[in-house]
Amino acid sequence: MSKKLQLDIISDVMCPWCVVGYKNLEQAVSELGLAQQIELEWQPFELNPDMPQEGENLRDHIMRKYGSSAEESQRSREQLAARGKAVGFDFNFYDSMRMVNSRHLHVLLDFALAHGKQTELKLRFFTAHFSEQKDLADLEVIAQELEAIGLDSTKALKRLKNIDNLKQIEAQEFEWQRMGISAVPTVVFNRKSAVTGAQTVETYKQILQELMAES
């Protein structure tokens, strides 16, 4: 029996391309019939670690951070919506949409990992933020998302009261950055090789096939 492939996905809940990349990776794994041979873990990355908790209007943020015009911002949204549709995900952008600080979400994803529900929670957060127009800075909203997948929201949210849990996320992020990761999504294979950006299904399949052949 060959040992399992370890996949680490370095990602932020606020990153739409992380959704597209994951959906393509998921399809590649499915088409190759490798679901049982893969250990997948989501690793933390903050696109905006200095963002205040309540966040900033998404369009204003993108225009300020990347110097893009309103027209470019709109074009980018349309492009993402099309890419999302192609992988079966609804990007439902709206004018008052906010980019929020995501460190608390990474703490909760760590909690979900210990309960075998990390990917489920990550996808719930993606859907809540990008499709359902929910505010992931609101702890009541987050509690509902945790309960929706069968996690104890009281226990999970208690994690956020301990500063050490927030510091641990920072330390994990620093460790990945020290290894040279500066953009998301990045998929790391067996802690040896990595590919950055939302790759195609075919690219992920090729990498996975090569790794399976080696193992």
Predicted local distance difference test score (pLDDT) of residue 33:
97
Q: pTM of the prediction?
A: 0.95
Q: What percent of the chain has pLDDT over 90?
A: 92
The mean per-residue pLDDT over the stretch 175-203 comes to: 97
Q: Residue 145: pLDDT band by 50, 70, 90 thresholds?
A: very high
**Sheet strand arrangement including 186-189:** 38-44, 5-11, 186-189, 193-196
The mean per-residue pLDDT over the stretch 30-45 comes to: 97
Over 90: is that where the pLDDT of 121 sits?
yes
Q: Which domains does the chain have, with CATH numbers?
A: 5-214 (3.40.30.10)
Over 50: is that where the pLDDT of 1 sits?
no
Q: Residue 194: pLDDT band by 50, 70, 90 thresholds?
A: very high
75-96 pLDDT, tens digit per residue, is 999 999 999 999 999 999 999 9
